[in-house]
Structure 1
Amino acid sequence: MYFPYLRGRQYELIALRELLDNDKLGEYILPIIEPVKLSSTLINILEKFQEKNQNCSLVMNPQVGSFVSELGESQKENLVERLNKVLEGNNHLLRVSLMSKDYNETDDFNQTKDAGKIIICKQADDLEGYKNNYINQDIAYNIISENSRLKREVKDPRVKINDNFIKLPRNTDYLKNEDEFYTDDHLYFSADGYKGFSDYSIVGEDYSESGFAPYAVAIHIVYFDEEFNLRVNHFVSNSNTDPSNPAGKFKEALEKLITAVRSGKIQRTIAIDEFERLYNTESYPGLGTVKKLSIMHHIELIANYFKSKEES
């Protein structure tokens, strides 16, 4: 199984919604959402997963963003009520807790235990929180970084999590290495003793709320090579001397992407079809939509991989 870890920004939530609307997730994709804001978009996507009888998971002790503080704001009462409703008796929503040395189960904003539980340990010291709270409990999935101590001491079923995206300081830096290895976890997770794998897609683990006008536009697209390793191609604009004309920069990057698509290098998904429509209509959707489409493409590609393995 694949557990894409998304931070719950607007474009990430909309990516999941559009994949759901087009029935592109399948049974082998279980998204993890770490909520960063208490928004109607977040509640809507959780409700849609429930309506579609599709599993997803929600972090109960988010470490970034303003979600937890917003739970106590009076103007958010309606959203809190809707959130509590979708959490109650929802067999398609698993609850996720991020372990730390000092973690206590009461740190989670919702204590309901009528659904599966996922815990995430990324550091060796996280074991203390895990052992003090969950060592004797049945856990749906234990997600761990590839750490020998964690693999020895955290019980099955284990899932490996990696940050496979090499994030560079500036988009122009990707011009130095436009095509690079991303992962082969989908090929070997089972042989390595895991029940699945997880990553942060083409966004990476680092979280930042602030945005800025980039000097270059980069479209990060994963694809399977001839040996079914997953690689990432960075399609970067050329006119990168200043932050002006983002639409023109997007057109330059998009032309490179569409050339790769039409050569057969990049596999087709609904997101790639939308990139091609934008190219044909010479439209600029904004950088949030570019990230949304790149995430959609990644998740659908993995879903298609599992589907093809099942059918073969």
Structure 2
Amino acid sequence: MTVVYYFPYFRGRQFDLLALKTVAQQRLLPPNIIPIIEPVRDIPALPKTIAAFMDRHQPLAIIANPTVSDYGLTQQKLHDWSPWKADPALIVGHILSPTLVAEDLMAQPGQQTLLVARQYDELVAAKQTGLLTTPTHLLVPPEARIRQLLDRPTIQLFDHAWFPEHDRTYADLPDALFSDDWVAGTGPYSGYSDYGIGGGHYSEHGYPARAVTIHLTYFHGSQLRIHRFVSDDHVDFKHPKEKFFQAIAKLAAWLPTQDAAVQTPAAQQLASYQATQHFPGLGVIKRLSIIHHLQVMANYFKQNYPI
């Protein structure tokens, strides 16, 4: 049976890493769901998260040449991931760049490597030099010209997240299709990758939002959908606690009406804040939403793509 992979792509922010660490500790993921971490900050949560995966022999990918933030430019890292570089469960990945050489993608015995390529022109040049035959996994955008260019299995990388512009809010689209990658089967791909509910855009300091929005993904058949619970108040950037309770009241009313697969422990934890009237902070909300998403994906893959 052909293995179908899912590579959820994360920038290594604090609450992304804490979510992944929890997922590893609870052994939620099957072996064909492999998170990718692109480090962005030199923080203790990075090696602790990697250690949580390696201690349990769960596969994880780390980008060795990150291109966002200044992490890649920091020579002396206080919280390095290199002690696990030779671990068979760690997949060392690279982002395709003009300075990348074949030796960077060579795997040690028993290990795998990964290459992320986002531009057609870069792929053309890399193919001419034979660079694309080396990595175990190749992640590329779902473009027809790229599929025609390549004669090897690839992983589709696409950003499914939607962000409202100008004076719009998520309340304009409270429930929507998030991804239907799996509807037509794998097709020319051996798996899929996306940036999850956080999206592919990276901002070093984030940006304020007028409304508090809680994002929960769920499957309807083979379609992955997303439901957004948005605070009624979105006039200004003040009062996040009060806005949170407006949003969580909607989640607490919606969740019991859903299938058991949607009512994950992380989603139930979120809903419990309505009863206790406890505001855990927006970072915790993000962490629980990520854990929920990964649990939903794990359940789907265990049922449809078991290995």
Q: Kindly provide the amino acid, as one letter, of the partner of residue 47 in structure 2.
A: I
CA offsets 1:187-238 (integer angstroms, 9 cap, x no match): 3342x1211111100111110012344221011111112x331111111000
Post-superposition offset of 1:116: 1.2
User: Residues 15 and 295 of structure 1 are in contact (CA less than 8 Å); yes or no, is this contact kept in structure 2?
Assistant: yes
1:166 aligns with 2:162: yes
For 1:254 and 1:136, the matched residues in 2 are separated by 48
User: Residues 171 and 214 of structure 1 are in contact (CA less than 8 Å); yes or no, is this contact kept in structure 2?
Assistant: no
**Structure-1 residue corresponding to 2:150:** 154
For 1:210 and 1:133, the matched residues in 2 are separated by 39
> Unaligned stretches of 5+ in structure 2?
none
Note the 1:4-83 alignment, pairs <5 A. Answer: 4-70=8-74, 72-73=75-76, 76=77, 78-80=78-80, 83=81
**Structure-1 residue corresponding to 2:90:** 93
1:268 aligns with 2:272: no
Q: Kindly provide the amino acid, as one letter, of the partner of residue 79 in structure 1.
A: H
User: Residues 142 and 154 of structure 1 are in contact (CA less than 8 Å); yes or no, is this contact kept in structure 2?
Assistant: no
Relative to structure 1, is the Cα distance of residues 212 and 121 closer, same or farther in structure 2, using a 3 angstrom cutoff? Answer: closer
For 1:172 and 1:11, the matched residues in 2 are separated by 26
Relative to structure 1, is the Cα distance of residues 304 and 143 closer, same or farther in structure 2, using a 3 angstrom cutoff? Answer: same
CA offsets 1:109-135 (integer angstroms, 9 cap, x no match): xx8842311112222112145323623
Post-superposition offset of 1:243: 1.9
**Structure-2 residue corresponding to 1:176:** 172
Q: TM-score, with normalisation over the residues of structure 2? A: 0.90
State the identity as a percent: 29
Q: TM-score, with normalisation over the residues of structure 1? A: 0.88
Q: Kindly provide the amino acid, as one letter, of the partner of residue 240 in structure 1.
A: H
User: Residues 15 and 284 of structure 2 are in contact (CA less than 8 Å); yes or no, is this contact kept in structure 1?
Assistant: yes
User: Residues 215 and 228 of structure 2 are in contact (CA less than 8 Å); yes or no, is this contact kept in structure 1?
Assistant: yes
For 1:215 and 1:6, the matched residues in 2 are separated by 24
1:307 aligns with 2:307: no
Post-superposition offset of 1:22: 1.4
Q: Kindly provide the amino acid, as one letter, of the partner of residue 278 in structure 2.
A: S
For 2:203 and 2:103, the matched residues in 1 are separated by 23
For 2:276 and 2:242, the matched residues in 1 are separated by 13
Query: Which SS does the other structure have where 1:58 is aligned?
Result: strand
> Unaligned stretches of 5+ in structure 1?
none
User: Residues 11 and 40 of structure 2 are in contact (CA less than 8 Å); yes or no, is this contact kept in structure 1?
Assistant: yes
Note the 1:137-286 alignment, pairs <5 A. Answer: 137=134, 139-169=135-165, 173-190=169-186, 192-225=187-220, 227-264=221-258, 267-286=262-281
Query: Which SS does the other structure have where 2:93 is aligned?
Result: strand
Relative to structure 1, is the Cα distance of residues 258 and 129 closer, same or farther in structure 2, using a 3 angstrom cutoff? Answer: farther
**Structure-1 residue corresponding to 2:132:** 135
For 2:167 and 2:48, the matched residues in 1 are separated by 32
> How many residue pairs end up in the alignment?
298
2:122 pairs, out of 120, 126, 129, with 126
User: Residues 172 and 240 of structure 1 are in contact (CA less than 8 Å); yes or no, is this contact kept in structure 2?
Assistant: no
**Structure 1 segments of 4+ aligned residues over 6 angstroms from their partners:** none
Q: Kindly provide the amino acid, as one letter, of the partner of residue 245 in structure 2.
A: K
Relative to structure 1, is the Cα distance of residues 136 and 21 closer, same or farther in structure 2, using a 3 angstrom cutoff? Answer: closer
For 1:129 and 1:16, the matched residues in 2 are separated by 35
Relative to structure 1, is the Cα distance of residues 247 and 301 closer, same or farther in structure 2, using a 3 angstrom cutoff? Answer: same
User: Residues 15 and 286 of structure 2 are in contact (CA less than 8 Å); yes or no, is this contact kept in structure 1?
Assistant: yes
Q: Kindly provide the amino acid, as one letter, of the partner of residue 6 in structure 1.
A: F
